[in-house]
Structure formats: C-alpha cells, structure tokens
Amino acid sequence: MRLKSFPRVVCAAFVALVSAAGCVSATDLPVQRSERHAFRVVQLADGLAHPWGLAFLPDRRILVTEREGGLRLFEASGAGGDEVSGIPEFYASGQGGLLDVALHPDFASNGLIYLSYAGRGAGGVGTEVARARLTGNTLTELKVIFRQQPKVSGGRHFGSRLAFAPDGTLFVSLGDRGGYMREAQNPENHIGTVVRLNDDGSVPADNPFVGRPGVRPEIYSYGHRNVQGMALRPGTDVIWAHEHGPRGGDEVNILRPGRNYGWPAITYGIDYSGAVISDKTGAPGMEQPVVYWVPSIAPSGMDFYDGDRFPNWRGDLFVGALAGSHLRRLTLDGDKVTGQEVLLEDLGERIRAVKSGPDGLIYVLTDSYDGQLLRLEPAE
C-alpha cells in the first residue's frame, strides 16, 4: 500500500475571509454558467492519490478514499485530511486499490462504515467489502463481509460501487475483471454482477436467485461489464447504475431483480482493437439501457440531485466522465432521458465521483496523482 503525504488544504466556501496568504472567498472565483444555473467551483483539497469514493458523516465531515493511498477524513470546510487507521489490506495495482466507501443507514447510532477494495486471495484478486466501526480517526471491529468468487488474475474491472437501499440492504457492483468477460453471462460466479447483501453480509431471503441450483444467491443482476456508478433514485426503492462499455457502449441502467443486462452477448460498443464483440445490440431476455454513449465517456460515479441549493437541477442525474473529462447532467422524464449537458469541461479533469451533499451542494472527486475534492456552489 502506497501512502502519500497529507493533501494540501485550500480555502472553502462559507468560511469567512481569513488572513492566510493566498486564501480567497468563493465569491472571488470565476462563475460557470449552465443551461439552468450559474455556479462556482470551490477546491476544498488537492494532493489526493487517485481519490475514488466519498461519504458524508452526520456532522458533515467527509470521508474520502484514495485508490493508491488510504482513507482520509476532512472537515466540511476541507480542513484536515487526517488519515484514518485500521483500514483493510488491499491490492493497489492497475485499477485496483481502496475503492468505495458508504455509511450504514443507522450510522448515527452504530458508527458503521463499509469499504470496497481489491483484495488478494486464492487464485488472484477480486473485489471485497469490509465493515468496521469508525471511532475518531480509527476503524475498529473490522470484518470482511463479502469476497468476490472466484479470485482471478489481472488488475482491471473491479466495479466496486456501494449503495444502500431503503430496506437496509447493500448493493455491491462487481466488474467482469477484464479478460473474463464471457463469465458475465454465467451466474454460477460473481463476475460481471451486482450483488445484494444484508448489512452483515448475509444473503437476503428475497434475493431473486435464492434457492435456485447453480446460481450464486447473492446475485441481484448479471451481464454487466464494469459498474462504477450506482445511486438510489430519491423517493423510490430503485437503484440505478451505469457501466463502462468497451470502445463505446457505456450504459445507464435501472437495476431489476434477476435481470440479465447482456454483456458481452449484446453491446453498443466494439473492442479497443476495432474487432466486433457482438453483432447484436438486443436480444430476448436481455435488458436495454436507459441511455448509452458512443463514443465512450468512461462514466464513473453518479448521483441524483435532490437538494434545494440548485432547484432547477432537482431530480437530474449527474454522471462523472473519465475519458470525456467532464461532469454530465441528465434530465429525466420518468425513466427516459430527455436532455444532457456537459459541465466542468474547462477543468480538463477526469471526474471519478460525484455526490449530492447533505448541504444541498454537489461534491466531485478528480482522478489523478494530484486529485482534488471540489464543491459546486450556486453563484446567485
């Protein structure tokens, strides 16, 4: 595990002007203009080692994972960045490392957090999930509650987003691990699936494949390539997810129990070499995406906006883009995408994660060796 020095902290919004040299207020920052809102981008911290996931504590402090580093804890202002000790051992190579973080729905009373990461085991590497109790800057009572099976070689496509549903079950996305894409159509293993767990890692009795011979009971859906975005749609019990296509064919999907999302039997993309992966974009018994992108934008991280600071964005879906180096805003009418807008393109940064914060603002992580924690604030 490689750790970097503490991130450099910069001034944050809502903090009065202070005397530190070089510190500016949010009102001094350039105004960005979108179709529906004017906003400013405030840098809360930089110097992060490929930040990957973030979660908000009840007191609005922010947990941030670093793929090649560790787990850091920031004040709401961006101050701090202290390292949290007691994290699980993880495999930091290729796309693997310490990945997502999520709070238990009853975190305020039990202090439990969940981490996903690439873990070593018999046969190679695979996505794992650990649960621990956060006390100060330390994790205690660490327990691994899920291990992808089988573990395989290679450092690609770990998936690894975490999302809790209103019933308290935990959704975990798992990639096809790169060279094992054909296994995404084989529900006898976890490759290319989304699994649904109870908060202790046990299998919910109402999972779609419970009791079916030859199918892993944890599986909720399968036929996925590399799901790096999941979010609960506000006001519903439905989880939406997006996944990387190969060269083109990135998808946003609505997760339904027991459904097959087609990879690699159907796809709107082609291989990186230009070769055809499948000549079909649809087939009976396989789900179609809500929207797909050709060419690829390489989506990572997503969230629905349900705050009050950007009222004209309420209900919109925000998706980070790695290859496209922007934040994509999708407007919806029911389950249909009715419009798209590109934001933050002028930053030239790969967007790894996006979250709607409890303060009604939007938080973004950029993916680089000098990654940043950013906040979007209304300019009005």
Phi, psi at 63, each rounded to 5° = -90, 135
Residue from 37, 104, 157, 242 carrying the catalytic annotation:
157
Residue 157 is among the residues annotated as catalytic for this protein: yes
Catalytic positions, written as ranges: 157
